[in-house]
Amino acid sequence: MSENVKTEIISWIKTIGSAIILALFITTFIIVNARVPSGSMENNIMTNDRIIANRLSYLFSEPKRFDVVVFKYPDDEKVLFVKRVIGMPGETVEIIDGRVYINGSDEPLPDEIYLKEKAVGDFGPFEVPEGHYFMMGDNRNESKDSRKWENKYLAKDKILGKVIFKYYKGFGLIK
């Protein structure tokens, strides 16, 4: 084998190795790339859509109500879930006739335009502990969320990132 061929092969190996290391760094420290296996977030994120979440979103700030986040499922941390933040630390969340009420308010959360359909049912009240969040899916009638989990609340340190966009069946920013 000539010296030029050896040099070219070594160059390719370095390039491919660098690309692999960069990809591992990005997926470990900057983004989460995950598949959504269920319809719990429909019509915003469809079954089998892929999502990209920013791991750095909550490095210097706290999650906000209505943020869509990817996290380790509190009842089985090997499983990743995607849901919307509804209840904040220290709040009391109650669902009456499918509408969400915070801290005993007479008014439900403002029109949740992201919902797939009108939600039904009464749940709660749930008292969200400090450092935790109450999570719900956008397809409330089909979502396995804080209302139904054994461990009802999501600890902040289990949040992996804020969902930025989806791709696969459709491409779009998540609001």
The CATH number of whichever domain residue 92 belongs to comes to 2.10.109.10
pLDDT of residue 167: 84
Asked if 84 and 116 touch (Cβ cutoff 8 Å), the reply is no
The predicted model gives 1-23 an average pLDDT of: 85
Nearest to 145 by CA among 78, 77, 86, 64: 86
From 2, 11, 38, 40, the catalytic residue: 40
Structural Rg of the chain based on CA atoms: 20
Confidence band, pLDDT 50/70/90 cuts, at residue 172 = low
Q: Stretch 24-47: mean pLDDT, rounded?
A: 85
Closest by CA to 75, choosing from 146, 171, 2, 173, is 146
| Contact between residue 81 and residue 133 where contact means Cβ atoms under 8 Å apart | no
The string over 88-127, giving b where at least 16 C-beta atoms fall within 10 Å of a residue's C-beta and e elsewhere, is: beebbbbbeebebbbeeeeebeeebeebbeebeeebbebe
Three-state DSSP state, 148: coil
Residue 170 has a pLDDT of 65
Which is the catalytic residue, given 11, 38, 83, 118?
A: 83
Q: How many domains is the chain partitioned into structurally?
A: 1
pLDDT (tens digit per residue) in 94-143: 999 999 999 999 999 987 888 988 889 999 899 999 999 999 999 999 99
- In the residue annotation, 61 being an active-site residue is answered as no
Nearest alpha-carbon partner for 154 in 50, 84, 49: 84
* Whole-structure pTM value: 0.85
The dihedral over CA atoms of 108, 111, 117, 122, expressed in degrees to the nearest 10, equals: 0
Range 69-92 average pLDDT: 95
Average pLDDT, rounded, for the chain: 90
- Residue for token digits 């979440």? 53
Domain that holds residue 14: 3-173
Q: Is 40 a catalytic residue?
A: yes
The reported pLDDT for the residue numbered 173 is 64
Look at residue 151 and tell me whether its pLDDT is greater than 90.
Answer: yes
DSSP codes, 40-65: TTTTTS-TT-EEEEETTTTSSS---T
